[in-house]
Chains A and B, each alone.
Chain A
Amino acid sequence: DAKTTQPTSMDCAEGRAANLPCNHSTISGNEYVYWYRQIHSQGPQYIIHGLKNNETNEMASLIITEDRKSSTLILPHATLRDTAVYYCIVRVGRDTGTASKLTFGTGTRLQVTL
């Protein structure tokens, strides 16, 4: 699986958009980009994933560059409850023998403030 690089920490004012970047310059054509987050003392929570097209769900939007070497997770209106560590993960698609493997790095610690 390709390696990812994320900033160690970011701050965001409540109500503003939080834009979390991720670099994955060695990504392969069959690898997806996944985002999870972990609120303090809880298990990780799935947010969104994509292959090459931009994706949106009720939690966030995922913007993937055309060359797929980087992506941005967007929380459109951050709240205090979005304070968490956000993990960008790149891995091969589902239903392979190693499909359960999620290689978590150290992520980005997002602090949402009043």
Chain B
Amino acid sequence: NAGVTQTPKFQVLKTGQSMTLQCAQDMNHEYMSWYRQDPGMGLRLIHYSVGAGITDQGEVPNGYNVSRSTTEDFPLRLLSAAPSQTSVYFCASRAGGTDTQYFGPGTRLTVL
């Protein structure tokens, strides 16, 4: 049971490039979320999903897209990277009817 996995661990992009941050969980959790963490700002919710085929926006969704075609996977797409998207990105999941969220190890993204 690997829990929540994220790839890549580190990524450097140039402004305007696109990429997808991968997130997968093997716990059959219904709920999945993406957060970004910036110094002095705590974690901010980008997008979340309450089940396969259902997604919704969080606090800071601009510049990011998500989809949830399977229960296991919840990729986060940056369409045209900007320096303001330099951050650490965390994916999380939890089971319906429970309160505990499990977080992945994070992806450290730098946009030049």
Decide if A66 is an interface residue (CB 8 Å cutoff): no
Q: When each residue 21-48 of chain A gets 1 if its CB lies under 8 Å from chain B and 0 otherwise, what string results? A: 0000000000010101000011111100
> B99 near A101 (CB under 8 angstroms)?
no
Binds A, one of B13-21, B77-85, B101-109: B101-109
B103 near A95: Cβ-Cβ < 8 Å? no
How many contacts between A and B, using CB within 8 angstroms?
64
Question: Interface SS of chain A: helix, strand, loop or mixed?
Answer: loop
Q: How far is the CA of A85 from the CA of B9 in the complex (A)?
A: 21
> Can you list 7 A-B contacts with CB-CB less than 8 angstroms, sorted by A residue number?
A42-B105, A87-B42, A94-B97, A97-B56, A99-B50, A103-B59, A105-B42
C-beta contact mask, B53-96 vs A, less than 8 Å → 1, else 0? Answer: 00010110000000000000000000000000000001010101
Query: Is the C-beta of B1 less than 8 angstroms from some C-beta in chain A?
Result: no
Interface of B is mostly: strand
Please count how many residues in chain A sit with their CB below 8 Å of the partner chain's CB atoms.
23
* Inter-chain contact B99/A43, CB cutoff 8 Å: no
- Asked whether, in the complex, the Cβ of B101 is within 8 Å of the Cβ of A102, the reply is yes
A32-B99, A45-B103 given; A100·B48 CB < 8 A: yes
